[in-house]
Amino acid sequence: MGRERGFVLLEVLAAGLALLVMAMCFHVFAGSAELREADACRVRAVFLARTQFSAAQAAANQKALLAGGYPWQGEAGDLQGGEEVYSVETDVAGAGEGSFKVVVKVAWQGRVRGELELEREVVAHGI
């Protein structure tokens, strides 16, 4: 009879330990899902910024790029990604003969919020 009580206690402790390990694994899984979603937003923000840099480069090559602020140059649908809504601001400053400093700020709101700022120098080809 004494052995059965100890055996039941051992089973309860083992089950409790298994539940604790499962709870920890679930917590890690939930955290990784959040990180994956945040990373997807950053990847999309880099795509949007690269689109702006490409538009600035094309304008510089046509000698049409001027200092100042520019709106989003791509498709309007690109600013919606899943539950997140993106906004893009582009500032262009002259840096010399045919050279421009382009700063693109991308912000997003939705389940995940954040912002990203990238900077690049754009030089008109042939100068």
pLDDT at 4 over 70: no
The residue written with tokens 């997140």 in the block is 84
Q: What is the pLDDT of residues 61-111, one digit of tens each?
A: 888 888 899 998 888 888 887 788 999 999 999 877 778 999 999 999 988
Tell me the whole-structure pTM to 2 decimals: 0.73
- The span from the CA of 5 to the CA of 120, in Å, is 72
Whether 100 and 63 have beta carbons less than 8 Å apart is answered as no
Could you tell me the pLDDT band of residue 6, with boundaries at 50, 70 and 90?
low
Residue 103's pLDDT is 95
pLDDT at 127 over 70: no
- The span from the CA of 32 to the CA of 34, in Å, is 5
Residue 32's pLDDT is 84
